[in-house]
Structure 1
Amino acid sequence: MPAPPLPEGLADVKLAGEVRRDLLGLRKDVADLVSQHLVAAGSLLEDDPERALAHARFARGKASRLAVVREAVGLAAYHAGEWTEAIAELRAARRMGGGPGHLAVMADAERALGRPERALELARGPEAAELERDEAIELLIVAAGARRDLGEADAAVLSLQVKDLDESRRDPWSPRLFYAYADSLLAAGRRDDAVRWFLHAADADDEELTDASERLAELGADPAPAGGSAP
């Protein structure tokens, strides 16, 4: 497999220390090559996921026994919409490296493949209890979406009523959690409540992680700061 051309400007970009340590078992020339393509994959992930996937696949061809490489392929495949490959690679990375890594990504890929039941199985599995809070909230959001896929909007609403669902909080995950709750309320036919929580999402979303303002416009609501409301 020929190497995809490397993007310009990567000379000063370094892999995280733990990733570099994982490459120490490779011959130096191979480690350097794999490192370059992992950096390329990471740098292209958001803007050009198909090119990112090409670089990650090339790295896999050189170091397929490393969990960090398989994880990179899985994430790039997910961003490129290659759902089956994403699941397979992230499962392989978990087998090799241990831990609950990227359960939310895997669950979302299962949803994309039209398998919401499998997404819920991942959310209910024992590994979900090992997640850090940000990852646990992301998995909760994906699971709520799977419940909506199954026509269980009321259950999705209830599943999101966790302690983090507090309009006064400004955790990194607050905008997405508020947005998912609003989306579930709307699916359950609770438009007014949905509008309030889209307002909370827009108010918390300084980095424009969601399209809460656009959803409010679609609902004919003014995206002004929201007042208090109870779940």
Structure 2
Amino acid sequence: MRSLPKGLADKVAAHLVAAGKLMDTDPEQALVHARYARHRASRIGAAREANGLCAYQMGEWTEALSELRAARRMGGGPGHIAIMADCERALGRPQRALELSRSAEAAELVGGEAVELRIVAAGARRDLGEIEASVVSLQIPELDPKQQEPWSARLFYAYADNLLAADRVQESFTWFVHAAHADDDGDTDAPERLDELVAQLGGDVDAEELVAEATAAGPAAVVESAEIDDAEEDDQHLDETPAAVVDDEADIPAAEVSKDADDEAAQTDRAVKASDPRGDESQ
């Protein structure tokens, strides 16, 4: 914000704080704040990033992708590649999502960000009809029911969902159980999916036995080696696609400020004046 005049910098910062606080509880209003900040500080990477993330929360895929691309050019690094790849999927371009997952920036990701990108890339392969490849691509060291990391529930759930798409129902049941056990925050609907599978499988399932076997065997041991070999061939075929990431914004129009920008600006200005970040209360 140092490149902005002091008064404008404080105002933009207040709107960014408001957007961050409202993103989970009122994403529509968060996007209003983020768009205003972006409108007043379009050359500030943090404003573009906030606009992109809030647009993503609201399902504004084109706007989110354009803003996050701009933020990445301004700040460098691998920021939010998983979200960008997910936007490409939502826009019906799974191949571009895969290209992003194989980019040099993607190789820099670690931990939860790397796992999230794996999940998105598996979904893109599934979009392309490469079901077994999507299963194999999630067989990573983090796919271990003995581990309980912040990303474990989503990874287990994605693996279970892809197993189900491959008609491997009993294995899918096991991993939905792992997902439900790891999901302390209710981020997935694993319990509901389990109810559906119990009805589908009837009395043929001993859930405790399946879970015990999977936990003792370790990550991905439920997959037969012959099936893995077949899927790896599909995976290698996919990897022949050039890894160049298309970063030309010619086909992605720049995100427009809301049509009622003036009204939104007036509304959010009143909010800022009521809670000046330089006073005793913060926005």
TM-score by structure 1 length? 0.87
> Which among 98, 119, 124 is matched to residue 141 of structure 1?
119
> For residues 97 and 83 of structure 2, what CA distance do their matches in structure 1 show?
10
Q: Are the aligned partners of 2:174 and 2:207 in contact in 1 as well (CA < 8 Å)?
A: no
Correspondences of 1:137-216 after superposition (within 5 Å): 137-216=115-194
Task: Tell me if the contact between 1:213 and 1:223 (Cα under 8 Å) persists in the aligned partners.
Answer: no
Match of 1:228 among 187, 205, 213: 213
Superposed CA RMSD in Å reads 1.6
The answer for the alignment partner of 1:8 in structure 2 is none
In structure 1, distance between residues paired with 2:128 and 2:28: 30
Please state how far the C-alpha of 1:178 moved relative to its aligned partner: 0.5
CA contact (8 A) 1:203 1:224 kept: no
- The within-5 A match list for 1:23-172 is 23-172=1-150
SS at match of 2:46: helix
Identical pairs, percent: 63
Please report how far the alpha carbon of residue 153 of structure 1 lies from its aligned counterpart in structure 2 after TM superposition.
1.1
Distance in structure 2 (CA, Å) of the matches to 1:224 and 1:175: 18
**Letter of the 1:182 counterpart:** A
* Aligned-partner Cα distance in 1 for 2:101–2:206: 32
TM-score by length of 2: 0.71
Whether the 8 Å contact between 2:31 and 2:55 is mirrored in structure 1 is yes
Aligned length in residues: 209
Shift of 1:223: 11
Could you say which residue in structure 2 is the equivalent of 1:5?
none
How much has 1:146 moved relative to structure 2? 0.9
Q: Do the aligned partners of 1:167 and 1:228 also contact (CA within 8 Å) in 2? A: no
- Measured in 1, the distance between the counterparts of 2:18 and 2:206 equals 38
Deviation for aligned residue 1:126: 1.0
What's 1:3 paired with?
A: none
Gaps of 5+ in 2: 200-204, 215-220, 223-283
Deviation per CA, 1:70-103: give whole Å up to 9, x if none.
0000001101111001000000000000001000
| Structure with higher RCO (Cα < 8 A, 6+ apart) | 2
Runs of 4+ in 1 over 4 A off after TM superposition: 221-225
| Structure 1 gap segments, 5+ residues each | 1-22
User: Aligned partners of 1:115, 1:193: CA distance in 2, in Å?
Assistant: 29
Which is greater in Rg? 2
Q: Which residue of 1 aligns with 2:227?
A: none
Contact 1:77-1:86 at 8 Å conserved across structures = yes
- Go from structure 1 to structure 2 and tell me whether the alpha carbon gap of 1:135 and 1:101 turns closer, same or farther (over 3 Å shift): same
Aligned mates of 1:201, 1:46 — CA distance in 2: 22
